[in-house]
Every structure is written in C-alpha cells, then in structure tokens.
Structure 1
Amino acid sequence: MNRTANERPLLEIEGFSARFGDRLAVRDLSLSIARGERVALVGESGSGKSVTALSILRLVDHAELGGRILLDGDDLLRKTEQEMRGVRGADVAMVFQEPMTALNPLFTIGKQIAESVRLHEGGRPNAARARGIELLRRTGIPEPERRIDSFPHQLSGGQRQRAMIAMALACRPRLLLADEPTTALDVTVRQQIVDLLIELQEQEAAERGMAVLLITHDLNLVRRFAQRVAVMEKGVLVETNTTEALFGDPQHPYTRRLLDSEPRRSIAPLAKGARRLLEVQGLCVDYSTPAKGWRSLVRRSTFRAVHDVDLSLRRGETLGIAGESGSGKSTLAATVLGLQRAAAGHVHIDGMPLSTLSSASSRRALYSRMQVVFQDPFGSLSPRMTVEQIVGEGLAVHRPEIDAKARRARVASLLDEVGLPADAMPRYPHEFSGGQRQRIAIARALAVEPELLVLDEPTSALDVSIQQQVLALLVHLQNTRKLSYLLITHDLAVMRAVAHRVIVMKSGRVVESGDTLDVLRAPSHPYTRSLLASSLLSPLPEPTPNLRSLND
C-alpha cells in the first residue's frame, strides 16, 4: 500500500552502509524521521554518526555507500552531483560543529547568507540582504543591520554559531542537520543556542514541517532538545526510543554505559596540615589595545583582563576555576605559569616569589615544578615527533644528566603509569585516539616530576566515557604523587567530580569561591546560579561525612 506524502516520514534511511576500503564505518542502518520531529543520533567518536549525517548530503569522500536514503520518497543516493547541489541548502541544510572553520573568513556574514539565497532562490541583491538581516535578527544577533557586514572573526563564538544557523535557515530547508552545534561553546551560550534551535524548529515545523537531526555525544543536550534518540555503537544502530523512555529505562548495555558516564566525584579529602604550594595576592593583568578610530595613531587604551584576584592552592589539592570565555581564567593560569609578564600583584610558588626570578637557570628550575595539560591533545602534540620524543623532551631539557638509555626507560615507565603500552613509543600522535593522545600529554607533563599541573579544559574535546577515564587517571595520579591541580573548565560536572574547592570568575573578577559541593549546592551569586541552570547537572549527592571542608 502506497503512503501519501503526508503519511510517510520526511527522511527514511533503509539498510544504509558506508565503507572506506576494507573498513565498514556504518552497517545496515535503518532510521526514519517524521515531519516536525527532533531526533538525536548519539554515540562516541568512531560510532558512524557523523558519516551518516554527511552521507545524507553526499559529502563523504572516498566512501562506498549502500542502501537507500529517502527524502520525501526521493532516494538521495541515486541523484547526480548536479541534482544534489539543488538539494544542499534548499531541502537539507547543515550546522557544523566549528563555525570559524565552516565560515569563509574572506567574506562578510551578509555575503555568505546572500550567496545561499541567490543560488537557490535568485532575486535581487537588496532582497537577499534584507533576508539576511531578518535571519540575523531572528537568530538573536544584536544590531543585525550592522553585524551583517561583519567578518566571522569579528563575532563571538555564540554569534558565529547563530550566523551559521541563519545561513542554514536561509532557504527554509525541510531537514536541518546539526553536527555537534554546541561543543565549542560555554554552558550559558550552549543553552541559548539549544533554546534558539528549538524555537526556530517549532516555528518552521508549524509552517513547513521542518525536522532536525542532531548529531552529538552531549547527553545533557539530548535530554533538553530531542523528542526521540537513536544510539550508535561501532557503526551499528543499537537502540531507538523516545527521549524520556531511553533515559528512564535504557535497554542496550552500550546505552546504559553511555548514560552512566557522567563524571563521578571520587577525590580523597585533603591531608590535614597540607602546606600551601601556590599563593596569588592582588593579581591584576592588563592588555594594551589600540584606541578606536584615528586616536589609535597617537595612543593606546588598556583592557584589564584580571582584577585583584587572590587564591591559594595546597599540596594534593584541586582548585577549579569556572567561568565563561573571556572571564579571565586562562589569563590567570598563564600568569601563574609565568607566561604572562605584564601583571601586578604577587605569585608565590612554595613561598618563592615568581617576580624575583631573573636568571634563566632559576626560572627553568621553578618551571620544572609546574606543567600544563592543554584542551586539544592533537593540537598540543607535535605531529612530527614520536611519542618517545614528545614525552622525553622535557627530560632532555630539565634533566640533561640522564643518558639516552635511562631516559627511554623513564618514558616507558611514564606511559605505563598513564595506561599506554611501551610499544607506543615509536608511533606518532595521529595513530592514537583522542583519549590516548590526552594520556600522552599527561605523561609528557609528568616527565619532569612537577608539583603543580595546570589543566586547561583537559576533557572538553573527549567523549563522555573517555572523559570519565581521563578524570579517573588524574585523580589516581594526584593520590599517588600528591599533585596539585589548577583546573580550568566551564564544565561544572567535571568541576564537581575532581575539584576540592572552586572559584567562579566573571569579567576578570572572582564573584564566588568556596568548597565545591557547598558552592554547587547553594550558590550565592546570580552568575553562579545562571551557570548551574545552564549546565543541566544531575542532582548533587548528599554531603559526605569524610569530605572535610577546606574552609575549616
């Protein structure tokens, strides 16, 4: 029996497979999306979810695609490339994960929106510009008449993502694909983008039945956004259900494992009498910036990134620094590491003032006691160096008395400590997964026996289950080595899991501080409350008797 156009799903994926040479990335996947429906496709990196989404638009190179992908009964896999150009943007549009790389840096936002409108709908340039201004206003960008002439680098991360959404909606598509649209955003901006997508989808659904397929590994985002969830593992669709049913009673072991991957608090209480390792008093950091207009020729203005910050960190303690982008938390960490010199105030490491270290040898000796683990393990590891060279580099600089044989043995021991085999040494970073690369970065930081590690968003680029493993490793290393951590993050679930104390920064100022569980249970500042409301944390555990407050 043939179904009418209104009875059949908008999108039907039937027996779909994607093969790259000998590797089968997606196997026999079947999934449908109804008109006006919001569906989330979730799974870890390598599960095949992004390959599936890109295949709908036929944007996957060097892949052999099988099965059927039907849009309103029309098989997209059977269309010519010329026909697909008419589908992309007009019938199916996509919002990518990183708008800075998806947007053309050489053209204004307005020109990029107008290009899509004129390509699919024609019309006069003035009409396309007016359409662009309307879309920017609809997506919540302030002053759209001015912002339409901005280049991508002149917009904030949230504004760039809004501009991407405006471009995607320019031709009023029937299906919107959103591939990790909030991963690179702060929690409050993430909430705004999710709310915006829901609002726009509901408006378009009422008029045209627009559906959304969300690709993500962020389960909090799925719970807020999706009406139905499909779970993929290693290229196979393992479970599909309504959002409420799937979160309430997951059936597949992999789904249960994903839902159980939220970071758990497992840190040990701070040792009684632990000495202070780091002390910061009255820290202020200024940046010199050109004045606006013709005044830039004769004078410069000053921007204060950090305002009069005080903090302390004890041996074996984790101090979390929370806040959105631009709050000053990374500038604060760079100053502690000695990477930011234009600062007023005092930074003491184990009682030694950082400002008094003038000789290169004295600075090098102190810096060996402090190391950093960066957010992006792929970007922070040299692609031209082997793992042995990467991990052993610090030893060569700070421990030149160690010979090559002893250094190699030390590298092997460090890799074993972070859970990597010794045969990883001759390999290169691109041969490892994201979680493995972060373990390499941790091993590199540990090579010179530091006392303080600055962790700059160490898990934000990782899947939830890998994130849990890396956090467990960091806690284990802290317990065995008595390390102190300065943790920078906007992920309050990570903060809750591993931080003894927390400070919350906004516009360069500390607006709240205290024991982590105390602050998260009963935040006193409106900004902290807004961060908590945006993060969708699961309920906090009851107070643990043996977790001593550090304010005692």
Structure 2
Amino acid sequence: MTKPLLEIDRFTAQFADRTVVRELSLSVARGERVALVGESGSGKSVTALSILRLVRQAQLSGRVLFDGEDLLTKTEQQMRGIRGADIAMVFQEPMTALNPLYTIGRQIAESLRLHEGLRPGAARARGIELLRRTGIPEPERRIDSYPHQLSGGQRQRAMIAMALACRPRLLLADEPTTALDVTVRQQIVDLLLELQAQEAAARGMAVLLITHDLNLVRRFAQRVAVMERGVLVETNETGALFDAPQHPYTRRLLDSAPRRAIEPVAADARTILDVRALAVDYRTAARGWRAVFGQSAFRAVHDVRLRLRRGETVGIVGESGSGKSTLASAVLGLQQPAAGAIEIDGLPLAALRANAGRRALYGRMQVVFQDPFGSLSPRMTIEQIVGEGLALHRPELARAARRARIAALLEEVGLPADALPRYPHEFSGGQRQRIAIARALAVEPELLVLDEPTSALDVSIQKQVLTLLTNLQARYRLSYLFITHDLAVMRAMAHRVIVMQAGRVVEEGETLQVLHAPSHPYTRALMASSMLTPMREPYERAHD
C-alpha cells in the first residue's frame, strides 16, 4: 500500500485553558483533494496551522507525518526549509496575509530566493509566469502592484501564485473563497482544480481544504473529514457523505441549508417603501481638465425603482460594487440622492430626514448590519445597546418598564434575561446578531434593512437567524429589504428579488421565477457561479 503524503496520528492541540483538537487521525494521499469541514471553533484551522508549526503557545502532541517524517519533532530552522517549499498555504484573507508595503512581485520573489536561490531577474520572470498561470491580467504590469491596488479576487490569485511558486507537494487552503463574490469564488475554485490537476500529474501535489462551505466541498473535494469541537466525527468519500451522512453532527450540518418557509404577502398589503427613479452620486477628487471645475461625481446608483409592501421581503442581489449597499444607505437616509424620490409609508424621505422628522423616520425603519462583531459597541452592556432606541423613542417609560421591555425583546430573539449586564465580547457571532435584531425591534419598526445579516455566520447559526427573521416577519408583518450575495439565502427569504449590476437594476421579479429562469446574462452568470444546490422541501416553522 502506498504511503500517505500526510498522516496525522492522534494529534492533540492544547492551550492553557482548553483542548482545541483532540486525538485527531487523518491521512491525505498524494494527488488527493481532502476537505476538513466544521464550524467556527471546531479546530480545523488550528490543525492546518499546526501542520506548518505556526501555532504559538500551544502544547502539541501526537504525530504529524509528512512523507514519513514527523513535523512536530522538527526544529524551527528545519521548518523554514519546509514552509513554502514542500508545504504551502493559501490564507483566508489575502489583504491581511499579504504585506501591504511590498509589491506582489517582491513577495513572490522572496520565496523563490529563499528556497531556490534565484537571482532577481529570474525570480521576476518566474513571478510573471505564475501570475499569468493564475489568471491575473497584464502580469507584466501587475507584478509591480501593491496588494491594495488589486481586487479581492486578484489578491487571492496572487496568494495562490505565491503558494505555488516553489511547486509544493501539499497545499493547505484555509477558507480560500470566503470573502469573494460568487462569480469570483467560482473562478478561484476552477483555478484551484486546474492547478491541482496539473501539479498532481507532475509532482503528486495534494490539497487539504479548510472550509465551512458545503457547496464548495461538494464541488472540490474527493474526500471529506468532519470536525466537531476538536474531534473528528466522520470521514468518507464526498458523494457518500453527502448522500448518507452517518454522524448526527454531519446530518445537522447538511440540514443547515436555508429552506424557503415564508408566508405569502396579503393581497391588500399597503406599500411601506416606494423608491422612484433613484440616482446616487459619490463625489470624487477631480483630475485633469475636470480639476478646473472642482470635484467630479461618480454615479453609484442609476434610475432604481422598487416597492416594498407590508409583510414582504424584497431581496437585493449583486456583487461588490453593484450599488446594493449604496441603495440601502439612501433608503436609510444616510446618503443624499442625486435624483429621484423615496417615500416611507407615503411620507417623503427628504422631509423625514430633516431634524424634526428624523425621530419619526427611525421609529419606522431600522437596520441590521453585516458584521455582528463591529456593529455593537464593546463599551456598552446589552441592556444599554438594546435600550438605546427605547430611551430616544419612548422617553416616558420608567426605568423598570424599560428594563422589562428589553428583557422581553431578548427573550423574543432567543436570549436569556441574564444577558442584560453582559458585554458583546461575551457572546458568539450568532448571539450578537440576535442582539442586533433585538435592538432593531425595540422601537417597533415596520421596515428592517438587512445588510448581509448572516454572511459572517456558520451555516447552522445562519439557519437559526434566518428562522428567527422568518418567525418575526410572520408575527409582526415586518417588511424586509434584504441585501445579500448569497443566492441560497435569497431563495429562502425573499418574495421578490432585484438583481443589480454596476448600479443598475438588470432584472427583477418573483424570486423563484428569477432563479429558475433568469432572463438577463448577468443573472444567469450569477446562477452558474453560485453552486446552488436543488431546493429542498419547506420545513415547518417553529411557533411559540
């Protein structure tokens, strides 16, 4: 039997206060693509970093054999010769993994100089070839770019080029597509598959993919290993695992895909939000002859029209730069329209934005932001965060009544009353997003603007938050303006969908009709890139 390229044997990683990986055994064969799957805190990233001995202040035990040699017994100097040369890593966020002070070419050349002794001219030529091979346009020019001058997809391609510079035998890919748009994500997956096939044929290169994206796993991996709280609970061929998962945790993960359970909108539902011919400009510094006339304007939103009724969810879909978040900012009164009109429940937004109407505006409309870690003040208790809106909009409430209302709101979103004196850092991402929803509900709004509310959450937590939003909508006939790039979430949550590209609406209609039979080429490209799985039967919504 052929010896595995990587063999992890009873590996344990323990920090001072807890064990994050326990007795893990896993092998990766030459030329094989294996996915290590689990939610945040499952230990999968610690496992990947431990292979390269990049985990500090942890006690590691067991064996991590690479080509028969135990990496845990290597000195730091020996590991420097292995990192990048024999084992390379593609990190989750290239903007933080790449050095902002060095050009892309210099960062690629550093590895080639250290491991292969190439001179500057030869390293530059190899770097240009690597950038061309990974699909970066104009590699002769882009090699002199800094990371901030590249798009997210180009930075990830540059990271892959750096990882492959010395033709490693094992590539560790830690959430390589998490922060990317769906079309760019598909391109990166296709690129990894193509490059791995080439390198597997030449050198037997294997890939260990670290991810929580089950659609990515289905498309990329030949074999899947599932981790729960530091323990490997199931390993199987990809098709067999998806068709017949054995462990309860694996079944729960696979059952976490969003399912459509929304109620139909009442025929007589009144219009809550009416956007007519909206245009939004951003002022930019003028250059050239435009400098004579001062600033120039960039139009981020062009002639957008939409209506949102009571109890309805309208989804806004598009990639980064499509204008969907700018549209949301204009609806919230945070961005001055250049043209067009917005009405909230029949009242002009322009009038409501004035100081006298601002309180009435935000009593009708609230927002839940994308990042549950950045949208809550770390200096305020949960009672202060949720009660802030009540203090402004219901100043007549006595302190005891306000506290009782806050406790009731927390209970409604599934949090205990003992959360009141605690701070945001004491809660998980999903719990923080529940706190943000409770804060939004405090003033009893009719409209919630949801800006990527689940994109930072694990799949099982995402399902819980989506179920909560669905239940709240049914109970209070809330209207949602739901912004997302995740078509699976959109399919589950939205009655109607609007597709935006470059600031314009290119397609709109009933959600299932648009997703089933898209008419615009851009929508079809989004669908083709989404790795969307067939929709499962609606589940029963939990009611109190």
- TM-score using structure 1 length: 0.95
Map of 1:202 onto structure 2: 197
Maintained 8 Å contact 2:447/2:478: yes
The structural deviation recorded for 1:541 is 6.1
Please give the per-residue CA displacement for 1:232-275, whole angstroms capped at 9, x wherever unaligned: 11111111111111111111111111111110100011112000
State the alpha-carbon separation in 2 of the partners of residues 308 and 342 from structure 1.
11
Maintained 8 Å contact 2:278/2:337: no
Q: Does 1:153 align with 2:148?
A: yes
The structural deviation recorded for 1:300 is 4.0
Q: Does 1:181 align with 2:160?
A: no
Map of 1:57 onto structure 2: 52
Map of 1:533 onto structure 2: 528
SS state at 1:503 partner:
strand
State the alpha-carbon separation in 1 of the partners of residues 138 and 288 from structure 2.
20
Structure 1, 48-57 or 84-93: larger mean CA deviation: 84-93
The residue correspondences of 1:298-317 to structure 2 (distance < 5 A) are 299-317=294-312
Map of 1:351 onto structure 2: 346
State the alpha-carbon separation in 1 of the partners of residues 200 and 14 from structure 2.
34
The structural deviation recorded for 1:399 is 2.4
Q: Per the alignment, do residues 211 and 349 of structure 1 end up closer, same or farther by CA in structure 2, a change over 3 Å counting? A: same
Q: Does 1:250 align with 2:217?
A: no
Maintained 8 Å contact 1:267/1:497: yes
Structure 1, 420-429 or 359-368: larger mean CA deviation: 359-368
The structural deviation recorded for 1:291 is 4.2
Q: Does 1:513 align with 2:508?
A: yes
Map of 1:550 onto structure 2: none
Letter in 2 for 1:78: T
Q: Does 1:423 align with 2:422?
A: no
Maintained 8 Å contact 2:94/2:156: yes
The structural deviation recorded for 1:540 is 3.9
Please give the per-residue CA displacement for 1:454-478, whole angstroms capped at 9, x wherever unaligned: 1111111111111111000000111
The residue correspondences of 1:323-472 to structure 2 (distance < 5 A) are 323-357=318-352, 359-472=354-467
Q: What 5-or-longer segments of structure 2 have no aligned partner? A: 540-544
The residue correspondences of 1:89-168 to structure 2 (distance < 5 A) are 89-168=84-163
Maintained 8 Å contact 2:259/2:535: no
Please give the per-residue CA displacement for 1:222-241, whole angstroms capped at 9, x wherever unaligned: 01100111111111111111
Q: Per the alignment, do residues 525 and 18 of structure 1 end up closer, same or farther by CA in structure 2, a change over 3 Å counting? A: same
Map of 2:5 onto structure 1: 10
Maintained 8 Å contact 1:49/1:232: yes
The structural deviation recorded for 1:543 is 11
Maintained 8 Å contact 1:110/1:132: yes
Map of 1:214 onto structure 2: 209
Matched-pair identity in %: 79
Structure 1, 404-413 or 178-187: larger mean CA deviation: 404-413
The structural deviation recorded for 1:377 is 0.2
Q: Does 1:285 align with 2:280?
A: yes
State the alpha-carbon separation in 1 of the partners of residues 264 and 289 from structure 2.
57
Map of 2:20 onto structure 1: 25
State the alpha-carbon separation in 2 of the partners of residues 266 and 376 from structure 1.
25
State the alpha-carbon separation in 1 of the partners of residues 287 and 115 from structure 2.
39
Please give the per-residue CA displacement for 1:151-199, whole angstroms capped at 9, x wherever unaligned: 1111111111111111111121111111111111111111000000111
The structural deviation recorded for 1:423 is 1.0
Q: What 5-or-longer segments of structure 1 have no aligned partner? A: 545-552
Please give the per-residue CA displacement for 1:302-352, whole angstroms capped at 9, x wherever unaligned: 321111010000011000001111111111011000011143100000111
* Aligned Cα root-mean-square deviation (Å): 1.7
Maintained 8 Å contact 2:382/2:421: yes
Q: Per the alignment, do residues 11 and 450 of structure 1 end up closer, same or farther by CA in structure 2, a change over 3 Å counting? A: same
Letter in 1 for 2:283: S
Number of equivalences:
539
Q: Does 1:44 align with 2:39?
A: yes
The structural deviation recorded for 1:297 is 7.3
Q: Does 1:263 align with 2:255?
A: no
- TM-score using structure 2 length: 0.96
Maintained 8 Å contact 2:290/2:296: no
Structure 1, 297-306 or 434-443: larger mean CA deviation: 297-306
Map of 2:542 onto structure 1: none
State the alpha-carbon separation in 1 of the partners of residues 364 and 155 from structure 2.
39
Structure 1, 130-139 or 11-20: larger mean CA deviation: 130-139
SS state at 2:374 partner:
helix
Letter in 2 for 1:211: A
The structural deviation recorded for 1:531 is 1.0
Q: Per the alignment, do residues 502 and 94 of structure 1 end up closer, same or farther by CA in structure 2, a change over 3 Å counting? A: same
Q: Per the alignment, do residues 281 and 261 of structure 1 end up closer, same or farther by CA in structure 2, a change over 3 Å counting? A: same
Q: Per the alignment, do residues 89 and 502 of structure 1 end up closer, same or farther by CA in structure 2, a change over 3 Å counting? A: same
Which residue, out of 481, 484, 491, partners 1:486? Answer: 481
State the alpha-carbon separation in 2 of the partners of residues 426 and 370 from structure 1.
27
Structure 1, 469-478 or 386-395: larger mean CA deviation: 386-395
Q: Does 1:504 align with 2:499?
A: yes
The structural deviation recorded for 1:405 is 2.2
